[in-house]
Every structure is written in structure tokens, then in C-alpha cells.
Amino acid sequence: MKKIEAIIRKSKFSEVKETLHLIGVHFFSYWDVTGVGNEKQGAVYRGISYSTSDIQRCYLEVIVSDSFVDQAIDALFLSAGTGQVGDGKIFISEVQSVYRIRTGEKNYEAIN
């Protein structure tokens, strides 16, 4: 099993959620986060300078079976990408075990 962590634009969250549901991912966790990127630009509004390097993002965490990783990543690229700087990042890591608390199911049965 793999854990997919993705940092995406907050404006793309609804599209990402819908695309994940379409491919069969019905459970994932997410957080609204603020990050600092490589972009060093600022904006001026009514004479006050604001940093645009502090960026509002969504952080997603999805656990999937090994055979489903490529499909989930493709869905994230399709729905989260704009082709612009700041589209985000995807991280993949190994998950040793998963348990469903209510039933005691383990691993693949617990995530399906």
C-alpha cells in the first residue's frame, strides 16, 4: 500500500475531489495549509506591499493499494494542474499496515 500526499492549489480542491471520487477514491483526508514557495514576487494594493510567497494550499492524504497508485497520480495531474508555477507537489511513501478501528479489518480490506 502507498500513501499519496499532495499539496495543491486551494482553488483546484473541488475539481480534485470530484476526480478522485470518479476513479473510486471515496475516502481521503485534507487540510487547509499555508506554505512558502520559490516565487519571490509581491503585490501592491492601495500602497501597501503584500508578499505573495505565502500561498494558500490544500494538503491531501490518500492511502491506496499498490496497483492503484498510477491511476491516482494521473487523476491528480489531470485535475490539479494548471501548467503554471505553484501547481503543487505529490509525495509517495510506503504504508506498512492499515487497520479499520470499527471492524478490525487489516490492510487492503481496511481501505476498500
Domain at 97, CATH number: 3.30.70.120
Quote the number of domains for the chain. Answer: 1
pLDDT tens for residues 66-111? 999 999 999 999 999 999 888 899 999 999 999 999 999 999 899 8
3-state secondary structure 69-88: HHHHHHHHHHHHCCCCCCCE
> How far is the C-alpha of 78 from the C-alpha of 97, rounded, in Å?
29
What pTM was estimated for this model as a whole?
0.82
pLDDT tens for residues 9-54? 999 999 999 999 999 998 999 999 987 766 666 666 677 666 656 7
Q: What range does the domain containing 18 cover?
A: 2-111
